[in-house]
């Protein structure tokens, strides 16, 4: 769970299971009691899969919103007594940031028509004609999250470095290169990253994933999703090992296409940075990767184990 503070408002990303009671009470007050939304529409069965933002003041829940996996923002609510202080904008900002960290390049919502100007000020643009939802006039609106434009510095390792790695790879179109001492399980052995690499590898004949490690033992001893993927798709997911090289100072790198770079310097777990769309910044790290790749090779332990 991550959190931030806006004046006296405490905002936190939470899940439905642990914060169901507070979220339900907020939405009951705003949508069902105040706005007359039918309960069977409000409780649509999607809350368990959503990421929620809960805003509290002195421990009292006053604001909320949710993000669905497909990028839809909704259930934005602020208690009547707490409106006019920017709390809704703060909730929305956290949801957009969460979408960006999860690799979504855009988000959308169904804005109540009277609130369209509020969302327009937050960068949303209308799509299509107005419509009714739960008897209330709405308009569909969308905006990009800034993924591919935002430079992030001071990313901590292993989290949220792992989330940035998955997001960067989910947006790759042709190539992914990974450089890591031992493919740290905390960062690289997760289903989101493995799914992104698998999807790219299967996308087209020219798609390619290259993974370069130094210490192969933890990967073999513990097993690893990316090792399994390389064994399953050896022509498009290539895992190689590098004994040593004077140019490699221990950086951890994720490179996508020709312009995306996520880098953690060897000497710090707090100084990683991500540039999703900068050919100039990515170029020198790609040159390093290519030099190391030329001096690497396959390892016998990476081959498929016969049944």
The mean pLDDT values, 10 residues at a time, for the chain of 307 residues are 59 95 97 94 94 95 95 95 92 91 86 92 90 90 78 88 91 93 96 92 89 94 94 94 91 94 92 87 92 93 62
**The predicted structure's pLDDT at residue 244:** 85
Helices (H), 106-184: 116-121, 161-170
User: Domains, the chain, ranges and CATH?
Assistant: 3-144 (3.40.630.30), 152-302 (3.30.870.10)
Token look-up 């960067």 returns 168
SS3 (DSSP) at 241 = strand
SS3 content of the chain, % helix, strand, coil (to 5): 35, 30, 35
Query: Which residue in the block uniquely carries the two structure tokens 């949710």?
Result: 66
Q: How far apart are CA 142 and CA 276, in angstroms?
A: 21
Q: What is the pLDDT of residue 117?
A: 92
* Closest residue by Cα to residue 196 from 123, 260, 151, 249: 260
The model carries a pTM of: 0.58
For residues 273 and 264, what is the distance between their CA atoms, to the nearest angstrom?
Answer: 7
* Per-residue model confidence (pLDDT) at position 149: 65
**296 Cβ neighbours under 8 A, 6+ residues apart:** 212, 240, 241, 242
* Cis peptide bond prior to 287, omega within 30° of 0: no
Q: Given this model, what pLDDT does residue 7 score?
A: 53
């Amino acid at each position: 769970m991550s959190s931030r503070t806006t004046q006296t408002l405490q905002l936190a990303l939470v899940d439905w299971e642990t914060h169901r009671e507070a979220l339900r009470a907020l939405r009951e007050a705003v949508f069902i009691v105040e706005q007359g939304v039918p309960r069977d529409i409000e409780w649509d069965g999607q809350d368990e899969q959503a990421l929620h933002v809960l805003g509290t003041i002195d421990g009292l829940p006053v604001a909320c919103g949710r993000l669905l996996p497909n990028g839809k923002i909704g259930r934005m609510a602020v208690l009547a007594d707490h409106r006019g202080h920017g709390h809704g904008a703060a909730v929305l900002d956290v949801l957009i940031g969460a979408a960006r960290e999860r690799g979504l390049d855009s988000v959308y919502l169904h804005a109540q028509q009277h609130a369209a100007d509020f969302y327009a000020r937050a960068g949303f643009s209308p799509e299509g004609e107005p419509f009714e939802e739960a008897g209330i006039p709405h308009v569909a609106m969308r905006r990009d999250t800034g993924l591919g434009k935002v430079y992030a510095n001071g990313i901590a390792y292993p989290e949220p470095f792992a989330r940035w790695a998955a997001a960067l790879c989910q947006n790759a179109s042709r190539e992914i290169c990974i450089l890591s001492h031992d493919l740290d399980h905390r960062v690289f052995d997760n289903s989101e990253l493995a799914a992104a690499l698998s999807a790219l590898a299967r996308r087209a004949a020219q798609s390619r994933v290259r993974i370069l490690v130094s210490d192969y033992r933890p990967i073999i001893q513990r097993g690893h999703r990316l090792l399994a993927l390389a064994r399953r798709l050896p022509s498009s997911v290539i895992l190689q090992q590098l004994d040593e090289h004077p140019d490699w100072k221990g950086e951890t790198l994720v490179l996508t296409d020709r312009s995306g770079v996520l880098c953690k310097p060897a000497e710090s777990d707090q100084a990683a940075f991500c540039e999703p769309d900068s050919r100039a910044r990515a170029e020198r790290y790609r040159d390093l990767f290519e030099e190391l790749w030329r001096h690497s090779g396959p390892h016998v332990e990476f081959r498929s184990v016969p049944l």
